A and B are shown apart, each in its own frame.
Chain A
Amino acid sequence: MSRLQPLFDRKRRGVLNVYCTAGFPRRDDTLPVLRALEGHGADIIELGMPYSDPLADGPVIQRSNATALANGMSIPLLFSQLEALRPSVGLPVILMGYLNPILQYGFERFCADAARVGIDGLILPDLPEYEYEHVYGPIIRAHGLDFSFLVTPETSEERVRRLDALSNGFLYAVSSSSTTGGDSDMGPVEGYLGRLRKFALRNPVLVGFGIRDRGGFLAACKHAEGAIIGSAYIRALEAGGDVDVATERFLQAILT
């Protein structure tokens, strides 16, 4: 079973999901970054698989993708790094990426390898709902992996309910109509999250995009089970220095 459900059973508030890019800042930093995130207070790790054309991402994550690819990162290399994931990291780890590299690796083989190394779920923003239902979803579920759809302030109630019904683990609420790393004004976002709350969805809701500091994190957590931080953490890693020290400093600023 995925580690997500037990986490949300235990913790219903203030869940912190941190995004990092595999093979960033250096090729072999993947596991040290995951260990540092676990060591300094993250609850979930969203591990991005780099892609040459990350459409939904803003400049910071585009840069980390390009750096990781230049470092030689690939899905086969990622899985070989993740052979040592368990049990040294106990947190739920989900893989985020775009569909094309996974199709080239082989979708079924990808899910099998992900499950084998202890991955808990997937976020594939360009996998549409119809193809999920009819082609890919059954494969994902057969390997015991969770899957999170994204919803935005523009997503209709009917569609939010449908995507919630298709998701397992958590639903990913994009805070505003934007690519990642923008500057979200949490005022209007709170209204949207309040609406989601009233829908009484079956999945916990994590809020992402544009959350960069403690204020944003706390605002998101008022109306949802937790939040996802990505670009701000990538920027902290870009500053250089020891991965563990940078991660500790970053997470302390968010959590305390």
Chain B
Amino acid sequence: MTKVYHRPDERGYFGRFGGAFIPEMLHRNVAELRERYLDITSDPGFRREFDALLREYVGRPTPLYLAERLSEVVGARIWLKREDLCHTGAHKINNTVGQVLLAQRLGRRRIIAETGAGQHGVATATVCALKGLECVVYMGEKDIARQAPNVARMRMLGAQVVPATSGSRTLKDATNEAIRDWINHPEDTHYIIGSVVGPHPYPDMVARFQSVISLEVRAQLLTATGSELPTHVVACVGGGSNAAGAFYHFLEEPSVRIVAVEAAGMGVESGQSAATTRLGKPGILHGSMSLLMQTEDGQVVEPHSISAGLDYPGIGPMHAHLFESGRGDFLSATDEEALAAAFELSRLEGIIPALETAHALAVLPRMGLKPSDQVVLCLSGRGDKDLATYMQAMESGMDTQKTDIP
């Protein structure tokens, strides 16, 4: 195994994963994006507007915070990249700012998006409100029922939230419905995919917009420690956008260990899991070849995770390539481990993390870290949206008062 990560080729293949497996009805829009995204996003005017919005509206750079009490418990230096402090409470808005500016330059007035937990939907609705664009968000009927506060936020921001009633009525189906909307409105609409999934150029484009995370980390670490490079970068992976951004500027640094954490749900072998690299096989979903949880017959399997943001049967093609090439280490955390880690971080550092992020936190004690290790963990989102789940855990008598907290 070479353990070398290859940037995507011109057809969007990361190794053997990626590509654009789309019906002809999407061809013109996807081809236009493919032909123009690099030119538009490298234009100085675009960069100026993007950087200014990230700075003044989103609140970047986000802090890189040395979590001392957590470090003591784990036995290594743990640096938290505080994406939870972005406007709207998660890293998702880095991408929506970028794609809305891109959509404006493509002359699109109508924006559509899919959302699972609602974070990407809220981020999209937010930037559409800022720019005065029409916004339609597809959300699984089941997710609408269990994420009421985010549905209300999107509506307050002026977005139309459309329930996806097909299939399993969760994120996978919301994505199907958004793609079908785009097929039916090819002229005026831009589709903002929220993760590093979908047909080329989406995986690469979204990773580039999120790469601001690792760009900042390098500069911040240099200031704080005298070295730009940590020993490890850790992030949770559903589709994988925060991980893509956190890994991006370290992929060609062989001394940096890349650690991706998937949701094991009730356990990898339980039949109630979302650990795609453990359970998936190569397959095509939402326009790209990647690893995919599926039956023997090639029908897509409904995953399970306590965290709606990780509840996806696939994984971005760049992550499939990181996995297959051996460049990335893929670990997983169960629902229960993630909950425990969320409570632990809250008590140790006064930071209530999103359930997604809690999966990344949960593996720290299992990584075999040394006291000299400098670990950057992408704290992708804040936990307000998960309070109902956290309250249930407390009411069910879960041991939230861990005894080994110093």
Q: Distance (Å) between the CB of B332 and the closest chain A CB? A: 24
Binding site for A on B (CB under 8 A): 11, 19-25, 27-28, 166-167, 172, 176, 179-180, 183-187, 281-287, 292, 294, 296-300
Cα distance A69–B168 in the bound complex, in angstroms: 13
- Given the complex, which residues of B lie within 8 Å of A51, measured CB to CB? 298-299
Most A CB contacts (10 A, CB to CB) among B23, B167, B179, B180 go to: B23
Known: A56-B25, A105-B298, A130-B11; 7 extra A-B contacts, CB below 8 A, are A55-B22, A62-B166, A62-B167, A69-B299, A100-B285, A131-B21, A150-B23
- Given the complex, which residues of B lie within 8 Å of A59, measured CB to CB? 166
Which of chain B's residues has its CB closest to A209's CB?
B25
Using a Cβ cutoff of 8 Å, how many contacts connect chains A and B?
108
Asked if B298 contacts A150 (CB within 8 A), the reply is: no
User: Which residue of the partner chain, among A62, A99, A178, A182, contacts B284 with CB atoms under 8 Å?
Assistant: A99
Asked if B299 contacts A128 (CB within 8 A), the reply is: no
Cα distance A185–B179 in the bound complex, in angstroms: 22
Asked if B167 contacts A75 (CB within 8 A), the reply is: no
Most B CB contacts (10 A, CB to CB) among A52, A66, A75, A105 go to: A52
Q: Which of A141-183 contact B (CB under 8 A)?
A: 149-152, 154-156, 159, 163, 174, 177-179, 182
Cα distance A99–B298 in the bound complex, in angstroms: 9
Asked if A100 contacts B166 (CB within 8 A), the reply is: no
- Given the complex, which residues of A lie within 8 Å of B25, measured CB to CB? 56, 150, 152, 154, 174, 177-179
- Given the complex, which residues of A lie within 8 Å of B185, measured CB to CB? 177
User: Which residue of the partner chain, among A55, A69, A104, A182, contacts B23 with CB atoms under 8 Å?
Assistant: A55
Cα distance A127–B179 in the bound complex, in angstroms: 16
- Given the complex, which residues of A lie within 8 Å of B20, measured CB to CB? 128
- Given the complex, which residues of B lie within 8 Å of A103, measured CB to CB? 282-284, 298
User: Which residue of the partner chain, among B24, B298, B300, contacts A151 with CB atoms under 8 Å?
Assistant: B24
Most A CB contacts (10 A, CB to CB) among B172, B176, B284, B292 go to: B284
Q: Distance (Å) between the CB of A238 and the closest chain B CB? A: 16
Mind listing 11 A-B residue pairs with CB under 8 Å?
Answer: A53-B285, A75-B297, A100-B283, A100-B298, A103-B284, A126-B287, A150-B23, A150-B25, A154-B25, A155-B24, A155-B27
User: Which residue of the partner chain, among A53, A99, A150, contacts B176 with CB atoms under 8 Å?
Assistant: A53
Cα distance A145–B212 in the bound complex, in angstroms: 49
The contact string, 1 if C-beta is below 8 Å from chain B, for chain A 36-77, is: 000000000000000111011011001000100100001110
Asked if B183 contacts A53 (CB within 8 A), the reply is: no
- Given the complex, which residues of A lie within 8 Å of B11, measured CB to CB? 130
- Given the complex, which residues of B lie within 8 Å of A100, measured CB to CB? 283-285, 292, 294, 298, 300
User: Residue A125 at the B interface, CB < 8 A?
Assistant: yes
Asked if B28 contacts A155 (CB within 8 A), the reply is: yes
User: Residue A14 at the B interface, CB < 8 A?
Assistant: no
Cα distance A100–B180 in the bound complex, in angstroms: 18
Asked if A179 contacts B184 (CB within 8 A), the reply is: yes
Cα distance A19–B135 in the bound complex, in angstroms: 35
Asked if A174 contacts B24 (CB within 8 A), the reply is: yes
Cα distance A66–B300 in the bound complex, in angstroms: 12
Which of chain B's residues has its CB closest to A150's CB?
B24
Q: Distance (Å) between the CB of A147 and the closest chain B CB? A: 13
User: Residue A216 at the B interface, CB < 8 A?
Assistant: no
Q: What 10 pairs across the A-B complex have the smallest Cβ distances?
A: A104-B298, A101-B298, A150-B24, A125-B23, A52-B299, A56-B23, A74-B297, A154-B28, A100-B284, A126-B21
